[in-house]
Structures are given as structure tokens and as C-alpha cells.
Chains A and B, each alone.
Chain A
Amino acid sequence: MTHGDPAIHRYSGQAQRIALLCALGGTLASLVGLVWNPALFFRAYLVAYTFWLGLALGCLVLLMIQYLTGGGWGLLLRRVLEAGSRTLLPLVLLFLPLLIGLHSIYPWTTQAPGDQSGRAIYLKVGFFLGRAAFYFVVWLILGYLLNRWSTDLESGRIPRSTRRFRLLSGPGLVLYGFTITFASVDWVMSLEPKWVSTIFPPLYAVGQLLTGLSFAVATLLLLSRYSSIGVNLRPNHLRDLGNLLLTFVMLWAYISFSQFLLIWVESLPEEIPWYLRRTRGGWQMLAFLLVVFQFGLPFLMLLSRKVKENSPSLATIAGLILAMRFFDLLWWIEPAYPERTAWFLVLDVSTWIGLGGFLMWWFLRKLRERSLLPLHDPYLAHYLPEAVPNE
């Protein structure tokens, strides 16, 4: 059964071809990098993987949030969020290259024998792998159930109510908070095993939400521009999306700055090197760009109602934030390694594009499977009356 405007199939077909080309080109370039300098490749892979995993999990979390809060924005974004959360499945397989390069990525894999400190016990390879398996099982179950029930709701196999979605989403958000706390410590914070920041997991989680939201907003606006989502976006819809984006931009800035302020004021020898490494040797330029383009500019632009209600400008801001998310993760991960060659940036970007091309191809395939609006959601008539199908 096909849904919606045939235009979506034409344009998404084109987009899928572009995505496959990106996947092919990026992967080839990255493979050259792998042969040339494996250590550099695996770091680049960690940056890219962290970005795309953040996109998938951000979509999953926003999907749960919109079931709990309700509102027109949730109905508009739901299909994009669902398809985004379904990229989790290939991401499980794509975790395997990280395991191959584990020794090039994480310095703690070579421990002094007989080290029985808590840190050494927590960072044992076996324990690390067991935890990773647990996170993926939790996320996959949440994503599978929410997507499965969504198709069931559409085909009428389950009662026309969002009760079971809400019952899962509440505990689901708690589970996400629990798993992402440990996952962020395992995968990114442990790159510098001596460094500890208790506010880092929330920062990592908000980064994922910001990635998911800016991706979903940009995708929705592109869809409504180049084909049809089945309903015209009204100024108040665009305003809601813009305000949500503004909220997450501010939250990201607030938590980022809190971490910086505390570490700067204390200036402790275990903590301050993290920022010293990231504000010298050229990294201060990237830090400056992050402050300007992931906070300053989007913040000031999104204050204006005119900008929010203008679909192309809102899409541009969302795209800018999405791109800056990649550079933010790059700024977190790359400076952790003392030695690097001039080509690392090229390798980072090509790996990002290669991995992303494949995942976007998968995303578009999943997006085409369902109507672009949840037509059987009981709240559709309340929030988007003009979209209710005539039966």
C-alpha cells in the first residue's frame, strides 16, 4: 500500500540516490584513510558514529516526549522521528568497527596489570561490551515497540488510543536517562580516563536531542516544500517548531557553560586540562565558532517571530545547528589525542558523510513506508482538523 502524494516518492527517490552516492564516496575516502592510518580512521569513525547515534536517539526521545506532551508539533514531526529512530537497527551493526579499533580509540584498554582501582574495574573491555549490549537492547526494544504499535494503530489492529504509547514513553524516558548517563561516560568521557564531569551526561543527552530536533525540523520543512505532507504548515506550527528549537539551543548553551564555569573556577589539575587542550593549538577557533553558530546566531535569529514563521529561514537555522552538532562532537573527541596529522579533518568529514549517506538512505526508505501524517491518531482532529481524511 502506498500513501500520500506521488511527489514524495519522486523526490525521496532522488534523495535516496544522492544519499547512496554520499555513502559510496565517503566510504571510499574513509577506506583510503583506514589503509593509510588506521588509528586516525577509527577516531574519525567514533566522531561520525557519535553524531549519527545521537540523531537516532534524539529522534527516539523526542518521539516519547511528544506522546507524553501532545500538541500539533508532535503530530507533524512524528513520522520523521519514527523513521529517524529506526536507524538504530543498522547503528547496532555499525558499532562493530569501533570494537575492531578499540585499542586505537580508548587509552584505558592497555591497563597496568594488577590495577584494582574502581576506574580500572569499570573500564574493563568485557564489562564495557556488556554495558554497550545492554544499552542497545533497551533502545532497540523502545524503538521497536513504538514503531510497531504505530503501524498497528494505522491498520486498526489496536484500539484507536495513544494510551499504551504513553505508558511506555514515561518509563522509556527514565530508561533513556539511565542508559545515556553510562553510555556517554563509556564512549566519550573515557577518552580521557582521568577527567570527570558529572554534568557531562546531561550535556551529551541534550546534544542528542538538539541533533534529533534540528534534523526533524529541517526534514519536515524540506518535505513540505518539495512535496506535500498532506497539510499546509500554518504560521503557528512554524512558531512552535522554532520555539522548541530555541529551547534546546538555550538548554545546550546553559549546560555547556555550567560545565565550563565550574571547571574554570576550580582549576583542578584533573579537570582543567580538558579545556586547556580544547582552547589551544587552533582548537580555540573551533570553540569560538561553536559559541557563535550553535548558540549566538541561532539564539538571536530564533527570538524573532518573523524568522520563525518563515519556513526557508527556519530550515536554514535547523540545518546550521545540525552541522554544528558534528563540529561540537569533533571538538569533544579529537583533542583527546595528543598526536594528529593535517589530514584528520578530511577523514572526519568523509567518514561522517559516508556513514550518514547510508543511514539517510535507510531513513528515507523507512519514511516512505507510512503516510507522512499519523492519520489514525485520535488527537489529529483536535490539532490538525484539516488533515483528517474523509471516510
Chain B
Amino acid sequence: MAVEPKLHAVMAEFATPQELIDAVAAARAHGYRQIDAFTPFPIEGLAETLGFTGTRLPLIIFLGGLFGGVGGFWMQYWCAAINYPVNIGGRPLNSWPSFIPVTFELTILSAALVAVLGMLALNRLPMPYHPVFNVPSFALASRDRFFLLIETGDPLFDAESTRTFLNELHPRQVVDVPE
């Protein structure tokens, strides 16, 4: 009486990085776009093969650094020249050279924090639930297996033909990923 679970994707398992890259290229060439790959370690060229073109992260980090730098300089300027001006050894109130180290440090701090938080946000992390973990063999993705995933949302997705397509790539196995 169990209800047939809704399908999230179909996934193929490969034993080597090169097989995965070839499979990803084949899937892209076939026209699939909503695909993803999972590997135990970074593989050079995989992101490009997946059609991953770029991210807004560098721009976000640059703006974060800019904010930290301008903010850091402004805080010192405001303290030393506006709110509490003190004559120190006849130096100008706006002693900008001595403000630079703190400005520099705050630029780095702010850019680094924005980099980490921005990366998490753009990856929609933390993510407590993801359907791929419904497949028991997926645990091997952090050991020695390489997975290619084609989601049901893909315009070309059809459970039967997609399974056949993946099987033609000679994977170790093709499994359904329930929602």
C-alpha cells in the first residue's frame, strides 16, 4: 500500500573522474541542463563542463571589502578629526597615513566575512534536507565514487528515456532519487 514516492532525479554512479567528466559532457551535448555532479575531491574542468559560467561572489566580496575599507577609515577620521580632535605633536587632525593600517585590516576582515557568509548564502547553505541522501550508495560520494544527477525539472527529462540515456554511458549503476 506504500505510495510511490515522487521522483527528484535520476543519478548515475561512476568509478573514475574521467568517466564522470565524459558523462557530463555527453549529457550537456544531449541537451540536459538541470544537471549536477558530486565528487569526493575537486576535479579540474568539471565546473566548466557542467556549464557553470560564473558567480556573483567576487563582486559581493569586492563590495564587502570596499565597505570595510571606507567604514574603517571613516570611523578613525570621525573620532580624530570631528568628535574628539586632539593635537598630537603638531600633526594634522586628519593624519591619514596612520589610519591606513586599520583601514587595511578592516578591508580584509570585512571581505573575508562577506566571502564566507556570501558563499554559504549563494549555495543556500545550511541545507538540512536534500533528496540525494535518500540513496544509500550516495555516501560513497565522499569516498571514491563520482555521481552525475539529472533532475526531473529538466525540460528533456523523461524517467524512462533518461535512465536509458544514463545506462548508455556505462556507469556502475543508475538509481532513482526519490523526493
A residues sitting closer than 8 Å to B (CB atoms) are 236, 257, 260-261, 264-265, 267, 303, 305
Size range of the chain B interface in the assembly: under 10
Contact in complex: A303, B62 (CB < 8 Å) = yes
Contact in complex: A265, B62 (CB < 8 Å) = no
Residue of B nearest to A304 (CB): B58
Q: Which residues of A contact B100 (CB under 8 A)?
A: 257, 261
**B98 an interface residue at 8 Å Cβ cutoff?**
yes
B residues sitting closer than 8 Å to A (CB atoms) are 44, 58, 62, 89, 91, 97-98, 100-101
Query: Could you give 16 example pairs across A and B, Cβ below 8 Å?
Result: A236-B44, A257-B97, A257-B100, A260-B97, A261-B97, A261-B98, A261-B100, A261-B101, A264-B97, A264-B98, A265-B97, A265-B98, A267-B89, A267-B91, A303-B62, A305-B58
Give the docked Cα–Cα distance between A267 and B95 (Å): 13
Give the docked Cα–Cα distance between A178 and B89 (Å): 37
Give the docked Cα–Cα distance between A257 and B91 (Å): 18
Q: Which residues of A contact B91 (CB under 8 A)?
A: 267
Task: State how many angstroms separate the Cβ of A383 from the closest Cβ of chain B.
Answer: 12
Q: Which residues of A contact B44 (CB under 8 A)?
A: 236
Give the docked Cα–Cα distance between A278 and B140 (Å): 64
Residue of B nearest to A306 (CB): B54
Give the docked Cα–Cα distance between A89 and B85 (Å): 58
Residue of A nearest to B61 (CB): A303
Give the docked Cα–Cα distance between A236 and B58 (Å): 17
Q: Which residues of B contact A257 (CB under 8 A)?
A: 97, 100
Q: Can you name 14 extra interface pairs (CB under 8 A) apart from A236-B44, A267-B89?
A: A257-B97, A257-B100, A260-B97, A261-B97, A261-B98, A261-B100, A261-B101, A264-B97, A264-B98, A265-B97, A265-B98, A267-B91, A303-B62, A305-B58
Task: State how many angstroms separate the Cβ of B152 from the closest Cβ of chain A.
Answer: 34
Task: State how many angstroms separate the Cβ of A199 from the closest Cβ of chain B.
Answer: 14
Give the docked Cα–Cα distance between A257 and B101 (Å): 10
Q: Which residues of A contact B89 (CB under 8 A)?
A: 267
Task: State how many angstroms separate the Cβ of A258 from the closest Cβ of chain B.
Answer: 9
Give the docked Cα–Cα distance between A267 and B98 (Å): 13
Give the docked Cα–Cα distance between A153 and B91 (Å): 61
Give the docked Cα–Cα distance between A276 and B86 (Å): 25
Task: State how many angstroms separate the Cβ of B90 from the closest Cβ of chain A.
Answer: 9
Task: State how many angstroms separate the Cβ of A310 from the closest Cβ of chain B.
Answer: 15
Residue of B nearest to A260 (CB): B97
Give the docked Cα–Cα distance between A265 and B91 (Å): 9
Task: State how many angstroms separate the Cβ of A368 from the closest Cβ of chain B.
Answer: 34
Give the docked Cα–Cα distance between A179 and B62 (Å): 40
Give the docked Cα–Cα distance between A257 and B98 (Å): 10
Residue of B nearest to A262 (CB): B97
Residue of A nearest to B44 (CB): A236
Give the docked Cα–Cα distance between A264 and B98 (Å): 9
Give the docked Cα–Cα distance between A297 and B87 (Å): 35
Q: Which residues of A contact B58 (CB under 8 A)?
A: 305
Q: Which 9 A-B pairs have the closest CB atoms?
A: A264-B97, A261-B97, A265-B98, A257-B100, A260-B97, A261-B98, A261-B100, A265-B97, A303-B62
Q: Which residues of A contact B98 (CB under 8 A)?
A: 261, 264-265
Task: State how many angstroms separate the Cβ of A145 from the closest Cβ of chain B.
Answer: 35
Give the docked Cα–Cα distance between A257 and B96 (Å): 12
Task: State how many angstroms separate the Cβ of B73 from the closest Cβ of chain A.
Answer: 14
Task: State how many angstroms separate the Cβ of B16 from the closest Cβ of chain A.
Answer: 17
Residue of B nearest to A235 (CB): B48
Give the docked Cα–Cα distance between A209 and B47 (Å): 34
Give the docked Cα–Cα distance between A261 and B100 (Å): 9
Task: State how many angstroms separate the Cβ of A294 from the closest Cβ of chain B.
Answer: 17
Give the docked Cα–Cα distance between A267 and B89 (Å): 10
Residue of B nearest to A263 (CB): B97
Give the docked Cα–Cα distance between A257 and B97 (Å): 9
Give the docked Cα–Cα distance between A236 and B100 (Å): 33
Task: State how many angstroms separate the Cβ of B98 from the closest Cβ of chain A.
Answer: 6
Residue of A nearest to B98 (CB): A265
Residue of B nearest to A236 (CB): B44
Give the docked Cα–Cα distance between A303 and B98 (Å): 25
Q: Which residues of B contact A305 (CB under 8 A)?
A: 58
Q: Which residues of B contact A260 (CB under 8 A)?
A: 97
Q: Which residues of A contact B101 (CB under 8 A)?
A: 261
Residue of A nearest to B58 (CB): A305
Give the docked Cα–Cα distance between A136 and B10 (Å): 68
Residue of B nearest to A266 (CB): B89
Q: Which residues of B contact A265 (CB under 8 A)?
A: 97-98
Task: State how many angstroms separate the Cβ of A307 from the closest Cβ of chain B.
Answer: 12
Residue of A nearest to B89 (CB): A267
Give the docked Cα–Cα distance between A305 and B55 (Å): 12
